Structure 1
Amino acid sequence: MLSRLDKVLLIGAALFAWSPVAWAGQPFDAKAFQSAQAAEKAILVDVTASWCPTCRQQRPIVEQIEKEKPDLIVYEVDFDTAKNVLKRFRVQYQSTLIVFHGAKEVARSTGETDPALIRAMIAKAF
């Protein structure tokens, strides 16, 4: 017999596997984000939603850049559930990409799907 927690975990895993936008980065964590900023890391905050067609277009581009730039830290923000994070970053729409070099925001776009432009944005963090 499965415990309630086991059932919740199984349902969550099934929903994640079914989701049309699989996250490659790590979920946003305020303390980890602040540590990365303090260490002057290159950071991408990727605001996404599982139902968003533009997010689905952005996903393989971001995943490829993550492979090419292992020093890039990617934080995923779920547009539907992370309202406090959206407020923190002044984000109103899903498919928003925010690039930081340390504590300084160096680029931001919403709805961008051109790989060259996304690469150019992220290059500003290095």
Structure 2
Amino acid sequence: MKKSAIIGLITIAICVCFLVSLNADTSSYSNFTEAAKDSREFHVMGYWEKSKGTHYDPQKDANHFSFFMKDQNGVVNKVVYKGTKPQDFERSEKLVLIGEMKTGTFYASKILMKCPSKYNNDLVEVKQDGTAEKYN
């Protein structure tokens, strides 16, 4: 192959990659009000509403955990997570929920928790299978 053909193919490949990256879902943090308007997946940041407690009964259904969360705008909404209750949920300072809103309830597929630490701030991702992964 000629050098000009190779350079042309590389240029086309770079342009295609650039166009694909522009169409990628670049989600930022949202709130419950925005999530209620659309049926796609959102990242909602907020705080656990401790006064309303949690509901988790492993004897009845070990994969159903629900609680209320207050988003950054102060809107409180019910959250349902189809998985086991995350370890140290009560100790978390801040929550990031990944999921979608359906009929006034936010259904989370993942829960990220910012846990208090004396030395560093770790985010812990809890997946539906019960595994947890820490992020620095």
User: Is TM more than 0.5 here?
Assistant: no
Relative to its length, the structure with more helix (as a share) is: 1
- TM-score for the superposition, normalised by structure 1: 0.31
Tell me which of the two structures has the higher relative contact order, counting C-alpha pairs closer than 8 angstroms and 6 or more residues apart: 1
